[in-house]
Amino acid sequence: MMSNKNVFFNPFSKDNPVIVQILGICSVLAVTAKLEPAIVMGLSVIAVLAFSNVIISLIRKTIPTNIRIIVQLVVVAALVVIVSQLLQAYAYNVSKQLSVFIGLIITNCILMGRLEAFAMANRPWPSFLDGIGNGIGYAIILVIVGFFRELLGSGSLFGIKVVPQCLYDLGYSDNGLMILPPMALIVVACIIWVHRSYNKDLQDKQ
C-alpha cells in the first residue's frame, strides 16, 4: 500500500493520468482552446472524482460485484448533475462553452479507472486523496494546454489580449491552427516528450 503522501502527489507527475496513463485525452482536445473553460473543467473533474471516490469507498463492501459498474456510474452521474447545475447557476457563460463535455465527465475513463482500481479497495480518506490528486494531475495538463493554445492561437489569456499590438504591427499574427483540436494533441505530445525526457525511469518501464 502506498503512503497517503504518494497517493496524493504521484498523479501530479509520476503517475499523471493524462501524460503517463494516457487517459482523458478526449476532453483535453475538446475544452482547451481557451484557458477559462480548461480551468473550470479541471475543477469539475477534481470535485466529481474526489467525492465519487469517497462515496464508492464508503459503500464498497455493500455493492454486489455484478452491478458495481452500474453503481459507480449512478454515483458519478448524480455528482455530474450537481456540478452542471452549479455551473449553470454561477458560471453560465463557461457552462455554455463546455457544452456537453461536462455531461461526458460521466464516461471519463480517469474516473471509472480510479473508482474501480482504488476506491473499491481502499478506505475513504486515501480514496479522497487519490481523487483529489488525480483530478489535480488532470487539471494541470488542461491548464498547460489551454494556456499555450489560447496564447498562441488567439493572442489572449482569459479572453484578454496579452500580445502587444506592436508585434502585430511588425507582422506577427495569431496561429489559427492552435485553436483546432489536432493541435491540442500535438501540445500534449510535446508535454509527454518533455516529461519523459526528465523522467528516464518512465522510459525504462515502457
Cell 509520476 locates to 14
How far are the Cα atoms of 1, 96, 147, 158, 197 from residue 166, in angstroms, in the given order? 56, 33, 21, 21, 36
Lowest mean pLDDT among 49-58, 93-102, 115-124, 170-179: 93-102
pLDDT band at 95 (very low <50, low <70, confident <90, very high): confident
Cell 494546454 locates to 145
More confident residue, 139 or 97: 139
Q: Dump strand ranges (E) for the chain.
A: 156-157, 160-161
Rounded to the nearest 10 degrees, how much is the dihedral formed by the CA atoms of 22, 26, 32, 37? Answer: -110
Region for 173 from its dihedrals, namely left if φ exceeds 0, alpha if ψ lies in -120 to 50, beta otherwise = beta
Whether the pLDDT of residue 75 is over 80: the answer is yes
What would the 3-class secondary structure string for 87-117 be? HHHHCHHHHHHHHHHCHHHHHCHHHHHHHHH
Q: What is the rounded average pLDDT of the residues 179-187? A: 89
C-alpha 72/C-alpha 147 separation (Å) is 33
Which grid coordinates belong to 200? 528516464
Q: What is the mean pLDDT of the chain?
A: 89
